[in-house]
Structure 1
Amino acid sequence: MLIQPRGIRLAEPLPLECGRTLDQVEIVYEVYGELNATRSNAILVCHGLTSNQHAAGRHRAEDPRPGWWDQAIGPGKPIDTERWCVIASNVLGGGASTGPASIDPASGQPYGPDFPIVTLADMVDAQARLLDALGIERLYAAIGGCLGGFQVLTWMSRHPQRLARAVVISATSRVAAYTIALWKVMREALALDPAWRDGRYQGQAPPERGFQLMSRIGALIWMEREALEQRCGNRLIGDADRLGYGFDPEFEVEALFEKVGRGDVTQLDPLALVYLMRAMDYFDLARGHCALADAFEGSPVPTLLVSYRSDWRYPPAEMEKIRLALEQRGWPVSHRTLDSAFGHGAFVYDSEGVGALMRSFLETSTT
């Protein structure tokens, strides 16, 4: 399946939660499958923190890897593109869509760190504008994990009337203090690279070394201990039979982490990643309400919640709080907890379990 990204400029300026307004906004997206005559079969797939709009297929036949959720999206797959039209958009601030690398129409130069802070609400409002432009009044479903799950929860809170179903995977109703602290440490690692230039590196060499260090810190946190042990253990590189007694990489796990983040700086703008991290810092559905349930005051939407027992960053207990809040508002909701050694990344790297749940849920009548 060869796919080409598309772009659309929003017809009107976009007001942001921070109080500023973006006069020009372009949203980049990809489409898999065809809209039916009534435009009622559209599924919005929301991407995670380090992913983008390229969710399935390949841009070119020679591409080494398909989109990040190719296991789940396509003909005959859990999100069957012979039945549904899948839309995956790059979030506002995410790099391909309008973000810090975009040209500021007021100055004619890249925004850089002068780009306004965006929130999950801003991202979802931009997606709603995209659907308006595509003539889609109501989604058959919105689906997402991690940051994508935050987007779906925001859709459920801000635009429930535009959803027929919702699938939230590996997410919480707010980020934990631990995550905010982790993002801070990762940003500081990036800032140690002289090429960072306080985020004003546009047109120059990007901060590749700082980005690699930031990526390795994140990977060390995201990867489960059991999965890393099974993959590498204490094995020496190339099955060497003796120790080198030095500080050069000798263990397979060291060689593995030397590869983490290498070359990714060309695929993901480091400054855009910093903006997405900050958007996650600000995510808290209960803010401004007396209780979490008050965030879901709109029309009830049948919802599937999926968590993983090994995901200690977004644990099942936090997802259960969302289920209880939805039930208080009369929403039809089910919470399923799965097992996987991949932890937080299981919905991408071990998608068979969640794929079966999604397939069944999407085929169930909302009535």
Structure 2
Amino acid sequence: MLTFAHSSYFHDLLDSFTAGVIIVNIRGLVYAANAAATDLLGYDGRQLADPALSAAIIARADAPRQLARFLAAPLKHGRKPEPLAMAYAHPDGETRRFRLSGSLLLENGKIFGILIEITDVTEIYRLHERERAMHLGIQAAQQERIRGLGQFSLAVAHQIRNPLMVIGGFTGRLLRGKAADDPETAPLSMILDGAKRLEAVVRAVSEYARRRELAPAMCDPADIASRAFEAAALRTGLSARLTLDASIGLVRTDAACLTEILTELCANALEAEPGANGQVTATATVSITFARTSDAVAVVVADNGPGPDDAALAYAFDPFYTTKAVGVGMGLPIARRRAEDLGARLSLGRSALGGGAARLVLPQPEQAAAVRMTPASATLP
């Protein structure tokens, strides 16, 4: 084989390949390389075969140890090496991207060398980098647009809030001096109700546009869920039986942000219960369940109401969309905005109880090191 390797036919055959090809003997020395390989690596055949330069050539790879293991796999361990992607500092000063694959050279069942194929993927890599930069640029522009709209919304809300306070305040004062049968009482009450509703819209828009400064810490999910449910019941004036399963230990997140999300989800669940207009049935139930996955915590808030229809599911997170006769329609959009602040995902579907189910997936990159608590499971009236 060595005699054949030095023949002109063999070298002409190697040079016919468009990919770089190098043949290394059992001692790890290069004894053949085609023109494509010398061009890709920036060294001629004699330099590649020089043992004194081998370490310097390997050192040009971004991961020399991985390249050394790639070469050692067949020579020391007798197995075909796994394909290797690497960056290479070419002597001309450019960084190139290569993909290496190796094949065992056998004679009489024994390995006498390795054939290494070098594929130049620099242009493909650069194309991906340009696409990535383009996507990042688009994403940055979208984020800037969102920030601009948020600031605009806050400014508009501030300008509307001031005259609203004047309208509502003076209307309330006028009403306090009116009897129930006074002909001015009804129109003044309508003005006051309209001012309160518009104030609720302004407050919701301000909350939606506001961005939180997060302070992640280890939190008790049972405590957060209980407080969120109580806040939702107080805000809506509705009540239901709460079943809570938070037996997963501590969760790393921003407690205030998670409480705000769960409050909105619980309020949505309470308002979806049968006869929820102040007369929730005795069987009304809201469940909050925490469960761990490999790298996240999933929180499901479900109710046993009639469940959302397809139209509601399609538009549930759109600002101002509501199925209630009187409502702002900003609860779920605010919950999703806060979920985005946490880097979480929020979705809405149907639950096993027959009603709606909101699913929040919180990333937990450090959950393997999370401190475990005594399991907390409760059923609250």
Normalised by the size of structure 2, how large is the TM-score? Answer: 0.22
| Larger fraction in helix | 2
With normalisation by structure 1, the TM-score equals 0.22
More strand by share: 2
The structure with the larger Rg is: 2
